């Protein structure tokens, strides 16, 4: 089942649990606007290259639309649509005053030079500048993009609209980015894990973890879990996987990686087959890479008791059912990885206020938002008699439905 079908299925199940009428259900599912643009740039060798860029603006009942921009060869309209919809429910679960959007360009960023990437980003911004804005739609980085990409968007947008730091989040600190934004998704994953384990009388310290992905989210989650006394016993990325039953030395592994070393060459670990990573013995499994990695083939063999969905839609619906029957507790993506959008909201607030917060305040506020969302999800699970995924979906969908009805938009 593709990402859009899976997300829409979860939405419909939540709408049924909430008893939403069919007209409202339909209007919540249909995106506000879908934008497709052709971006043609001169390559460094003088030839022309064309790329398709997308922006799907899903819903703005609760505030400006918010969502990342992904540069990846497999970016397609269905996936962008699914991710835009997920953002609508995610911002509502997090209780930040935003709607949902997502964008992307079908390209291989690793095969483009820095100046080609800059030209592509600027052309994309020229094509969508009148459809985004601090109070309309606020992009952020996602896979294949970073703070430099946001700096180029900010600069190009400002040529049309004047100085507008709040038009994007995830910017470099020197251009109005927030302290703590880089670590925010991984830190949110750590706070979410802490909250879930505490519910079950457990803690990070004394638990074992397996992490897939060692990029922004995975490396921060690993570092912060390690700092809290958790044992990361296996870890993998696109180059391979490693394990150490006594716990990997994450600071040493970070140093090794930052010096250009491949994961499999880390001295204090044993290389393992990547196909074994997700089914490795552990208390907590944290997928931090791609979508759809847990499926009907590997779900029956999962040994973790808890899964924290740091990646977007890592568990397909068939795997969800299998894991639920096995008694595995899954903490859903629309809550587990919301730390990034929560600190993006803090960045936007700081830009609008023209006042910068210190990192301690950012982390403290993030902790408050993550804990509060967890308590609200638990309350929904109780009132709707459902699992955590449906608890999060019913919470998010209900908040968006209420805003839609209050505005009188349901007709
Ligand atoms: N960065 C954020 O703030 C943020 C926020 C919310 C959700 N997410 C989601 O988290 C996930 C990771 O995002 P990121 O920003 O860390 O990306 P990233 O590009 O920084 O890192 C991705 C990691 O996944 C690994 N990977 C790629 N293909 C793999 C494969 N086949 N097997 C194993 N590992 C593989 C890469 O080697 C890398 O370590 C994505 O699903 C993204 O949508 C990210």
pLDDT in tens, 293-316: 999 999 999 999 999 999 998 999
Beta strands in 44-196 (DSSP E): 48-59, 65-72, 100-106, 137-141
Q: And the tokens for 78?
A: 């269905």
Mean pLDDT of 190-207: 98
- Let me know whether 322 and 378 are in one domain: yes
Same domain, 199 and 133: no
Q: Would 72 be classed as within a structural domain?
A: yes
Query: Do 372 and 254 sit in the same domain of this protein?
Result: yes
Question: Quick one: 190 and 309 in the same domain?
Answer: yes
Instruction: For residue range 166-178, list pLDDT tens digits in order.
Output: 999 999 999 999 9
**Judgement on whether residues 406 and 265 belong to the same structural domain of the protein:** yes
Ligand 1 pocket, Cβ-based, cut-off 6 angstroms: 142-143, 185, 212-218, 236-238, 288-290, 310-312, 337, 340
Mean pLDDT over residues 4-8, rounded?
87
Whether 56 and 204 map to the same domain: the answer is no
At 66 the three-state DSSP class reads strand
Bridge partners, residue 330, by sequence: 307
- Domain assignment present for residue 4? The answer is no
Backbone φ/ψ region at 129: left (φ over 0), alpha (ψ -120 to 50), beta: alpha
Mean pLDDT to the nearest integer, 29-52: 97
Compute, in angstroms, the gap from residue 27 CA to the centroid of ligand 1: 32
Please answer whether residues 263 and 257 qualify as being in contact, where contact means their C-beta atoms are separated by less than 8 angstroms: yes
57 dihedral zone (left: phi>0; alpha: psi -120 to 50; beta): beta
> Does residue 252 lie in a domain region?
yes
Residue 290: band (very low, low, confident or very high) from pLDDT cuts 50, 70, 90 = confident
Q: Domain ends where: 166, 191, 216?
A: 166
Do 100 and 67 form a contact (C-beta atoms < 8 A)? yes
Answer yes or no: do 243 and 365 share one domain.
yes
Same domain? For 269 and 122 the reply is no
The whole-angstrom distance between residue 408's C-alpha and the CA centroid of its chain comes to 30
Q: Which domain holds residue 137?
A: 32-91+98-166
Same domain, 399 and 362: yes
CATH number at residue 70: 3.40.50.10860
DSSP 280-320: SS-SEEEE-S-TT-B-TTTGGG---SEEE--SSS-B-HHHH
Which residues have a catalytic role annotated?
A: 102
Does some domain include residue 2? Answer: no
216 is in an annotated binding site: yes
Residue to mutate, 216, 271, 280, ligand 1, most ligand atoms under 8 Å from C-beta: 216
Give me 248's structure tokens: 């990997």
Nearest CA to ligand 1 atom 19: 143
Question: Are 161 and 214 within one domain?
Answer: no
pLDDT at 15 over 90: yes
Task: For residue 333, give the ligand 1 atom closest to its CA.
Answer: 7
Is 296 contained in some domain?
yes
Task: Find out whether 327 and 348 touch, Cβ atoms under 8 Å.
Answer: no
Residue 27 falls inside a structural domain:
no
Cα–Cα distance for residue pair 210/354, rounded to 1 Å: 41
Average pLDDT, stretch 254-281? 95
Which of 166, 201, 216 lies at the terminal end of a domain, its last residue? 166
396 and 328 within one domain: yes
Overall number of domains in the chain:
2
Let me know: does 337 contact 188? Beta carbons within 8 Å: yes
Q: Give the predicted TM-score (pTM) of the model.
A: 0.96
Which of 122, 141, 166 marks a domain boundary? Answer: 166
How far, in Å, CA of 212 to CA of 340, rounded? 18
Shared domain for 205 and 153, answered yes or no, is: no
Question: What span, in angstroms and rounded, lies between the C-alpha atoms of 249 and 269?
Answer: 9
Determine the pLDDT at residue 343.
98
Measured from the CA of 314, which atom of ligand 1 is nearest?
Answer: 41
Tell me, yes or no, whether 409 lies in a domain. Answer: yes
Token code pair at residue 33: 């606007």
146, part of any domain: yes
Closest ligand 1 atom number to CA of residue 289: 24
Alpha-carbon distance 224 to 363, whole Å?
Answer: 12
CATH number at residue 335: 3.40.50.720
DSSP string, 16-44: HHHT--HHHHHHHHS-SEEEEEEEEEE-T
For residue 217, report the distance from its CA to the centre of ligand 1, in Å.
7
């Amino acid at each position: 089942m593709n990402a859009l079908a899976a997300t829409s299925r979860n939405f419909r199940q939540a709408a049924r649990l909430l008893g939403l009428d069919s007209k409202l259900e339909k209007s919540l599912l249909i995106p506000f606007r879908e934008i497709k643009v052709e971006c043609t740039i001169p390559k460094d060798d003088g030839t022309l290259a064309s790329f398709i860029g997308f922006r799907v603006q899903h819903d703005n009942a609760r505030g400006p639309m918010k969502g990342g921009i992904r540069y990846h060869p497999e970016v397609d309209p269905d996936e962008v649509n699914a991710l835009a919809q997920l953002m609508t429910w995610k911002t509502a679960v997090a209780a930040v005053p935003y709607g949902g959007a997502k964008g992307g360009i079908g390209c291989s960023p690793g095969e483009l030079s820095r100046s080609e990437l800059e030209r592509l980003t600027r052309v994309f911004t020229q094509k969508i500048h009148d459809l985004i804005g601090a109070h309309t739609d606020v992009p952020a980085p996602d896979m294949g993009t970073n703070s430099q990409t946001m700096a180029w968007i900010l600069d190009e947008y400002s040529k049309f609209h004047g100085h507008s730091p709040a038009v994007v989040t995830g910017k470099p600190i020197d251009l109005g980015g927030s302290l703590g934004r880089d670590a925010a998704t991984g830190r949110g994953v750590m706070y979410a894990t802490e909250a879930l384990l505490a519910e079950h009388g457990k803690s990070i310290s004394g638990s074992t973890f397996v992490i897939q992905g060692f990029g922004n989210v995975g490396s921060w989650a690993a570092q912060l879990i390690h700092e809290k006394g958790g044992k990361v016993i296996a870890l993998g990325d696109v180059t391979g996987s490693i394990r150490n039953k006594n716990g990997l030395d994450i600071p040493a592994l970070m140093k090794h990686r930052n010096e250009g070393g491949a994961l499999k060459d880390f001295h204090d670990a044993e290389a393992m087959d990547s196909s074994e990573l997700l089914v490795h013995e552990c208390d907590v499994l944290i997928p931090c890479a791609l979508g759809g990695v847990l499926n009907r083939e590997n779900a029956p063999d999962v040994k973790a008791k808890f899964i924290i969905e740091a990646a977007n839609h890592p568990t397909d619906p068939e795997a969800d059912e299998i894991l639920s029957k096995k008694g595995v507790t899954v903490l859903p993506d629309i809550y587990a990885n919301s730390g990034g959008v929560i600190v993006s909201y803090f960045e936007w607030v700081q830009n609008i206020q023209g006042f910068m917060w210190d990192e301690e305040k950012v982390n403290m506020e993030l902790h408050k938002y993550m804990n509060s969302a967890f308590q609200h999800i638990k309350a929904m699970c109780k009132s709707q008699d459902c699992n955590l995924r449906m608890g999060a979906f019913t919470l998010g969908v209900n908040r968006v439905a209420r805003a839609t009805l209050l505005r009188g938009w349901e007709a």
